[in-house]
Structure 1
Amino acid sequence: MSRHDFAVEEFAGRRARVRRAMAEKELDWLVLFHPVSIRWLTGSDAKSYQEFQCLLVPAGDGPLAMMAREGERAEILDDALVDRLETFGGNENEDPLPRFARLADEFGLLAGRVGVEVPAYYLHPHHHIAIRDFFGSAFVEATNLVHDLSLVKSPAELGYVRQAAAIADEALTVFGAALRPGRSELEIAGEVYGALLARGSGLAASPINLVSGERSCYSHGAPTERRLQPGDYGSIEYGATFRRYTATLGRQFCLGEPTARMRELYEIVRRACDACIAEIRDGAPATAPHEAARRVIGEAGLEHGRVHTSGYGLAPGFPPSWGEPMHMIGGSGYTLRAGMVVSVEPPVFLHDERLGARIIDNVLVTRDGCELLSRRSRDLIVI
């Protein structure tokens, strides 16, 4: 990812939208820590998020200043649209907070209201406390300001999402061919990773979930040395990326003829997915698709197995997540808008039965409904 992946005009439009949102909230400055937010405004793909990095955005037309570790200086200068770069550390350890305080003082942040992102990752609690104390009454939490603006994707962004979805589809063919008794979950996952990388995908922000046999009741189980056996039921979920834009795909499989209960769980989940998709359209509350899926699962007496969200927005992901703050779940305050890309994945996982089922697809929200991005069959894969 770099500033070269989008036209300068697209970055300018994003910055203008952020500044309008800042004006609505009467913010003089915005301090961003989430790498997705920083990337959306600058194009930076640097790994400085592993330590301390931030972007200072003024409410007016002033310069954007970025702070990052010294090791990423060259990459940021080449690939990011920033007007000022301040680095710390390098070949010796350095506390970044004094450098941040000097930069904030130089730009006069303490003279106004400062919106600050407080992400679940990427900002150490000690740094958060120090920054909050530094700004004092000027501190205003603005965690989702940029994220909410980036939910609706531009035509260029959607082009990258479609390329990621096409790669994910191709990897599913490789997965199906790799399924056979005697092979370990790790061996199969390795073939999927190889297929993704060979077809132009980067490494997705979250690792592959692959479970089989008695582990099929795990909703996010990583592949292990367990070797597949005849009669095994299981599931896979993985993400493909293009320019960090992620498309996810999840399917159920069985080695041999599935039992009646296996088929029943699969069919319930598929009906829940269909009900969810049928409610997705521009202007729909994010709770509506969720409630439709929930009804299907609840009527089957399996509400206790519905262990997570019915779906969420997909972002240009950085480890450990490709998800956006918009979830299709009870209590969500979001409204679906044309141009959003969301996953659909209402699940059923039953620990007591050692079984689970989840089908994962991505859809593009449109004015009249939604478009399924994967072109692959959603049928149970039976080997």
Structure 2
Amino acid sequence: MHLPFPLTTYRARLADVQRRMRDQQLDAMLISIPDAIYWLTGVDSVGYLWPQVLIIPARDGEQPIYVTRTTEEPGVDACSWLEERYFYDISEEDPVDAIIGTMRRYGVDTGRIGIEDDAFTMLPSTARRIREAFPAVEFTDCSYIVPAARLIKTDAELAYQRQAAEIADYAMERVFDAIRPGVSEVQLAGIAAAALGEAGGEHAAIPPMVVSGERSALVHCMASRRTLSRGDVVCIELAGVVNRYHAVFMRTAVIGEPSRRVADVSNTLVAAHRAAIEAAAPGNPVHLPEDAATAILTPADLTKNRCHRIGYSLGVAYPPGWLEPMTMVKGDPHVFAPGMSFTVEPNLHLPEEGFGIKLGETVECTPDGARTMSRLPHELRVV
């Protein structure tokens, strides 16, 4: 059995989650999101295409029950501490019937039960069938109980993220080294992926993204076969991963001397980015980094070119995404606290001008203020 943390860590996590469940007057809950299951149990698999649930009783000391397909049994044995498991054979048993039957066998069929309303792995049809099977149960949303428990990272968790950031830095440098006219975006994305693996990184929830020239304004597009030319702006986004803990990293390069406009926009973005990091201090509401960046971007008439929220909590992740629920926008009730880790990324896209600029990284909140996990400069890289 391989686990990235001692068994005592997983027991403490389970006890904390069960306490949170009791605070919300739950008798049990069903969790299907892979990052939550991994965080609680160590199960490391991308086999969540088929229905799976971790059934968690709320009573202190009771063990969770994992329901998944038979294909996953060797991985569950190798990667987790779970003792109560049920494996269904998809050629013989309906997956949702397997979940319902397991709930009945373990007596998870009365009272108030949490089910995820906000989970891509809990299909509406699956949730509907579970609800219909237990008409006397009061079902309620439990989507954010485990994410709330994960928001403040331990020193050990942050150490994995810092290692992931070192891997991301290494990969970014290898991409910068390879940027030149005639190289394609897909080649650069491949170089990024190879460098991440070479440095010890695991597969990321989102593969490396590379866009160039007029495509640099396309924030979430994947790499194309477009080849680079002199004068091109090149945006790169990638993530280092250690024990599923992600460190996201974004930088922009230009081939040859940048135009005055590209240089001015980049310099303004750097100032906004640094102001946002400084605003992520303990006790501050999480929308303050957005406010700090906006105060710098607005006089330059660049606020309209902001692509999305300035950041979000980050930690364990699986495809298709790496966002945790805390988002740094007005209306989010969280405040920064030591142990939080999150992205800061005030990216800009200017499609009408034919370019965009990405600048972002993973940041941790410490008792002394926010600190970036990356060592690379923020400025536009000229190659």
TM-score under structure 2 length normalisation: 0.96
The equivalent residue for 2:108 is 109
Equivalent residue runs for 1:6-17 within 5 Å? 6-17=5-16
Instruction: Find the residue that maps to 2:317 and give its secondary structure.
Output: strand
Q: By how many angstroms is 1:83 displaced?
A: 2.2
Instruction: State whether residues 281 and 365 of structure 1, in contact with CA within 8 Å, keep that contact through their aligned partners in structure 2.
Output: yes
Is it true that 1:289 corresponds to 2:262 in the alignment? no
1:291, 1:135 → 2: CA distance? 47
Amino acid at match of 2:281: R
Q: What residue is the counterpart of 2:164 in the other structure?
A: 164
**Paired residues for 1:116-135 under 5 Å:** 116-135=115-134
Contact 1:34–1:119, Cα closer than 8 Å, also in 2: no
* 1:75-154 to 2 correspondences below 5 Å: 75-90=75-90, 92=91, 94-136=93-135, 137-154=137-154
Report the Cα offset of residue 295 of structure 1: 2.3
Determine if contact 1:3/1:44 at 8 Å carries over to the other structure.
no
Contact 2:161 / 2:315 at 8 angstroms: preserved in 1? no
Q: Distance in 1 between matches of 2:229 and 2:239?
A: 26
Structure 1 or 2: more helix by fraction: 1
* Contact map agreement 2:283 2:335 (CA 8 A) in 1: yes
% same residue? 33
Q: How does 1:154-193 map to 2 (within 5 A)?
A: 154-193=154-193
Secondary structure of the residue aligned to 2:152 is coil
Q: Are the counterparts in 1 of residues 55 and 65 from structure 2 also a CA contact under 8 Å?
A: yes
TM-score, L = length of structure 1: 0.96
**C-alpha distance in 1, partners of 2:113/2:266?**
49
Q: Deviations over 1:113-150 (max 9, x none)?
A: 11112334222221122223334451010101101110
SS at match of 2:48: helix
* Separation in 2, partners of 1:173, 1:357: 17
- Checking the alignment, whether the CA contact within 8 Å between 1:14 and 1:41 is kept in structure 2 is yes
**Preserved CA contact (<8 Å) 1:265 1:356:** no
The one-letter amino acid of 2:250's match is G
> What is the SS of the residue equivalent to 2:359?
coil
Residue in structure 1 matched with residue 198 of structure 2 by the alignment = 198
How many residue pairs get aligned? The number is 381
**Residue aligning to 1:225:** 225
For residues 1-383 of structure 1, the aligned pairs below 5 Å read 4-60=3-59, 61-90=61-90, 92=91, 94-136=93-135, 137-383=137-383
Deviation, 1:369, is 0.7
Q: Secondary structure at the match of 2:241?
A: strand
Preserved CA contact (<8 Å) 2:286 2:336: yes
- 8 Å Cα contact 1:166-1:374 kept in structure 2: yes
Unaligned stretches of 5+ in structure 2? Answer: none
Q: Distance in 2 between matches of 1:221 and 1:77?
A: 38
Please say which of residues 230-239 and 115-124 is displaced more in the overlay.
115-124
- State the Cα distance separating 1:93 from its structure 2 match: 6.0
Cα RMSD for the two superposed structures: 1.4
Decide whether the 8 Å contact of 1:266 with 1:358 is kept in 2: no
Question: Gaps (5+ residues) in structure 1?
Answer: none
Instruction: Assess if the C-alpha contact under 8 Å between 1:271 and 1:296 holds in 2.
Output: yes
| Cα displacement (A) at 1:96 | 0.9
Q: Distance in 1 between matches of 2:202 and 2:284?
A: 33
Q: 1:87, 1:265 → 2: CA distance?
A: 55
Distance 2:194 2:11 in 1: 37
How far the C-alpha of 1:3 sits from its partner, in A, is: 5.2
Deviation at 1:165, TM superposition (A): 0.7
